[in-house]
Structure 1
Amino acid sequence: MRTLLALGAVLCSLAQGPVAEATQAPLPARMADTGGGTQLITAEAADTRATTGTLTWWDRRDGRWVRAGSAPARFGAKGLAEGATRRQGTNTTPTGLFRLPYAFGIAPAPAGTAYRYARVTDRSWWCQDNASRAYNRWVEGLPPDCRAAEAERLTAYRTQYAHALVVGFNYDRPVRGRGAGIFLHVNGRGATAGCVSVPAEAMRRILRWADPDRRPRLAVGTRGGPTAITRY
């Protein structure tokens, strides 16, 4: 009898596992804030030491969040860090909830892209010089107060910046030393310097899907702990 009861308990627990997973609310429904729009991108890592995870894009339909697609994601070579206290040059991806100001790329915009899309030229740079008035901004032609050693020439990353979305981290009111040039872009050879990256086809799909009128946001975080994605 004891053996049968024990076996029954094991079978019951096995049956409950998949049911619990299936009935769990979708990730956006468990988040503290999704930005108020009807589109959302989540980039979730196991913990702050992880350099890989999952990126998922979601639609809000009839009051419910529905997954529109997903792809494996890559993060900074040194993992993730709380966005509010992150330091520049640490090769960490900032956590938080961010707007997506505009898209850009070396390649033409994928057919159906609704976002404002800036084409990269030979004169396109992203200034990361803390002393420059153009800090954390795209510039066409490097300004005198932005040193080339403290800036990123966008054409130097032809694979990664074939297509990209600017992430609004430290963007609206830049804090010097917090970080600059954080994007959602195409995978390179490995982990990023602090951005989030996905395979090329996934990036094209995201650009065709994203609708600025629906105010999409990007949420970056971990499964649990102080940087849990559900806290943002």
Structure 2
Amino acid sequence: MRLHRPYLSATAVLVVSALGITTYHHLAEGDSHAARVRATSTEQAAEEPVPASAAPSATVQSRPQLPTRLPGLGPKTLARVPAAARQVVVVTGAGKKSSSSQVVLWRRVDGGWRRGEVWAAHNGYAGWTDKHYVGDLHSPIGVFGLTDAGGRLADPGTRLPYHRSGAFSVSGTGFEGEPLAGSFDYVIALNYNRQPGTSPMDGTKPLGEGRGGGIWIHVDHGGPTHACISLSKTHMKELLRTLDPADHPVAVLGDAASLAR
């Protein structure tokens, strides 16, 4: 009896890999069943969800890195900022002879410095000087403590000692004809040639009368000052409410080039 060899027909099997690559395998009919099983298993594996433990974890966005030193200040200026200061008001003039400046309150947090808003300000009519004298119309360059406040209006909620008095009054007009009334509604004394821990109105001048004094941060009247720094009333109130004696606040004043030294 003659045995007939089974006829093996070629069968095309479509295989979809887990990587999404489609291939065709031409197999003999005797192998087609196993191929179909393998193909089905591959398709099922591709459709099954990946266990949560095996899925790549979402990238956690880290907080922005805070600068470890105050931007814009050079080594000479930084050396004058007390190590205990955790609030630093930086007043940066637009130029050595400019009466326009910007104010930023920096706060030390998490080992770095966090910047506050940038506020427009005015400074002395003639700009900036390394050695201020009475009547020179320059604001002094340097680092000065902020320990005392006051004003014609009631305390807006500051932690600094606040002296309210009607003596904080001014009249007349500024260098550009603008009215000065209300400029001393709120003031913060800069500890330049004064006795810290006293009212901003105190006239004590350790460096002598010729070196000037009574230099404050006060309400802006819309033009240059004699030597003070001026901010809008809104920003003055915000600054007063933010400054905290426990953080040993100081002000750093000067034109950008001088502060970068």
**Structure-2-length-normalised TM-score:** 0.62
Question: Are residue 73 (structure 1) and residue 106 (structure 2) matched?
Answer: no
Preserved CA contact (<8 Å) 1:41 1:217: yes
Query: Match of 1:13?
Result: none
Deviation of 1:28 after TM superposition, in Å, equals 6.7
Query: Match of 2:208?
Result: 175
Question: Are residue 208 (structure 1) and residue 241 (structure 2) matched?
Answer: yes
Preserved CA contact (<8 Å) 2:86 2:107: yes
**RCO (CA 8 Å, sep 6+): is it higher in 1 or 2?**
1
Q: 1:116-145: CA deviations, max 9, x gaps?
A: 110012xx3xxxxxxxxxxxxxxxxxxxxx
3-state SS, counterpart of residue 165 of structure 1: strand
3-state SS, counterpart of residue 116 of structure 2: strand
Q: 1:194 aligns with which of 200, 213, 227?
A: 227
> 1 CA distance for matches of 2:117 and 2:126?
27
Deviation of 1:62 after TM superposition, in Å, equals 1.6
Consecutive unaligned residues of structure 2, counting only runs of 5 or more, are 1-65, 172-180, 196-205
Query: Match of 1:51?
Result: 99
**Matching residue's letter, 1:72:** A
Query: Match of 1:129?
Result: none
Query: Match of 2:164?
Result: 119
Q: 1:21-70: CA deviations, max 9, x gaps?
A: x9996427753332221110000013210100110001000210111232
3-state SS, counterpart of residue 156 of structure 1: coil
Preserved CA contact (<8 Å) 1:103 1:164: yes
Consecutive unaligned residues of structure 1, counting only runs of 5 or more, are 1-21, 125-153
Distance 1:28 1:78, change over 3 A: closer
Cα RMSD over matched residues? 2.1
Query: Match of 1:135?
Result: none
Distance 1:175 1:220, change over 3 A: same
**Matching residue's letter, 2:124:** G
Query: Match of 1:163?
Result: 186
Deviation of 1:108 after TM superposition, in Å, equals 1.0
Preserved CA contact (<8 Å) 2:92 2:103: yes
Deviation of 1:76 after TM superposition, in Å, equals 0.7
User: Percent identity over the alignment?
Assistant: 25
Question: Are residue 93 (structure 1) and residue 139 (structure 2) matched?
Answer: yes
> 1 CA distance for matches of 2:150 and 2:67?
38
Preserved CA contact (<8 Å) 1:102 1:116: yes
> 2 CA distance for matches of 1:24 and 1:63?
7
